[in-house]
Chain A
């Protein structure tokens, strides 16, 4: 897929309009995973604007977002960075070999108390 098309796809899947962003940084000010991310939440937006989905797709950030919606809640321009990063994640996991979680690694991750919802949630976010 071309760079342009990927950027378009991110816009479509996320249902958001990155052009509304006024670069205030409130998403990055809010994000609890900020320090773990290589590309920061406010940058998600400009990467999509620039069409650089490749960098976004290869970023660590994809797997650090918690979907806690704090950035979505507080964004004054309704840009919803949380949805943008999820769209990028979707594009990755929908490709062959894009899964971030495989069935083989699961047994090692389990423990006695682990609730089912943790597994299904991680499946949904990390895996096709």
Chain B
């Protein structure tokens, strides 16, 4: 089983381990991530303006390449996933954006949203299945109490992202359970970490992240997991914080490929 893979800029730098653990885990789970050739940065945030075309083109290029590969496109970073998924939705459903983007791109075959964009977690849920994942776990994380931190970008807007119930998601909890650990459900798991605000107003982001940590700890979480390098960065900056891991790290650990992954 092969997927086209869009790692995104941060996974090439500060979040190399998010990527490495994912690749090793994918292999252990029986699928391969084939990195797109010369992908470009998605821009980090989805350009909301209806007249912003140029800033969407990097995503369109990646999406079209996956289409030409005849593969679904897998992402890891929440932000990249958000951008690619929404641009794809525009290309599929917004005739104006589609026409204008294609006019810029001059592809051999115009792109019209044909590619299916899947987050790595969706691959596990919808393609592999949690039952199957459970079977592949060699080091169950028994006894660990883990809080899932979803953040905003995977979930909202629910109609476009269609990732999970945006107000009461379950995917990561099922994931944690499949790894043998105990998921800790806490209501702030879909509250914002502050996102890009932390660059210029770190205090705002810190306050928000503190609330998240406090809430998770209050319900008994011992650590948090996330899919997003920015969320992790912001969460780590808060005081009295719980340890924050990438979900792929725990996945690799449970699958017994953690050490090998970083070599």
Q: What residues of chain A have their CB less than 8 Å away from a CB belonging to chain B? A: 12-15, 32-33, 36, 63-64, 66-70, 72-73, 82-83, 86-87, 90, 100-101, 109, 113-126
Complex CA gap A9/B204 in Å reads 30
Complex CA gap A113/B234 in Å reads 10
Q: Are B196 and A115 in contact (CB under 8 A)?
A: no
Q: Which of B159-210 contact A (CB under 8 A)?
A: 166-167, 191-192, 194-201, 204, 208
- Does B77 touch A at the CB level, under 8 Å? yes
Residue of B nearest to A10 (CB): B49
Complex CA gap A12/B201 in Å reads 30
Complex CA gap A23/B251 in Å reads 45
Which of the residues B10, B43, B49, B155 comes within 8 Å of A13, measured between beta carbons?
B49
Within the complex, the shortest CB–CB distance from B207 to chain A, in Å, comes to 9
Q: Are A113 and B233 in contact (CB under 8 A)?
A: yes
Assuming A14-B48, A32-B191, A68-B195, is B152 touching A116 (CB within 8 A)? Answer: no
Within the complex, the shortest CB–CB distance from A104 to chain B, in Å, comes to 13
Assuming A67-B195, A121-B195, is B51 touching A115 (CB within 8 A)? Answer: no
Q: What residues of chain B have their CB less than 8 Å away from a CB belonging to chain A? A: 8-10, 12-15, 41, 43-52, 55, 77, 79, 152, 155-158, 166-167, 191-192, 194-201, 204, 208, 229-230, 233, 236
Residue of A nearest to B47 (CB): A124
Within the complex, the shortest CB–CB distance from B225 to chain A, in Å, comes to 17
Known: A13-B51, A82-B48, A100-B200. 14 other contacts (CB 8 A): A13-B50, A32-B192, A33-B197, A33-B204, A64-B197, A64-B201, A67-B152, A73-B166, A113-B233, A117-B77, A118-B199, A121-B43, A121-B45, A121-B230
Q: Are A68 and B44 in contact (CB under 8 A)?
A: no
Complex CA gap A29/B233 in Å reads 27
Q: Are B9 and A120 in contact (CB under 8 A)?
A: yes
CB-CB < 8 A to A70: which residues of B? 152, 156, 192
Q: Are B208 and A32 in contact (CB under 8 A)?
A: yes
CB-CB < 8 A to B52: which residues of A? 90
Complex CA gap A82/B233 in Å reads 24
Residue of A nearest to B205 (CB): A66
Residue of A nearest to B155 (CB): A73
Q: Are A83 and B48 in contact (CB under 8 A)?
A: yes
CB-CB < 8 A to A118: which residues of B? 44, 196, 198-199, 230, 233
Q: Are A14 and B49 in contact (CB under 8 A)?
A: yes
Within the complex, the shortest CB–CB distance from A96 to chain B, in Å, comes to 18
Within the complex, the shortest CB–CB distance from A113 to chain B, in Å, comes to 6
Q: Are A121 and B10 in contact (CB under 8 A)?
A: no
Q: Are A14 and B236 in contact (CB under 8 A)?
A: no
Residue of B nearest to A114 (CB): B233
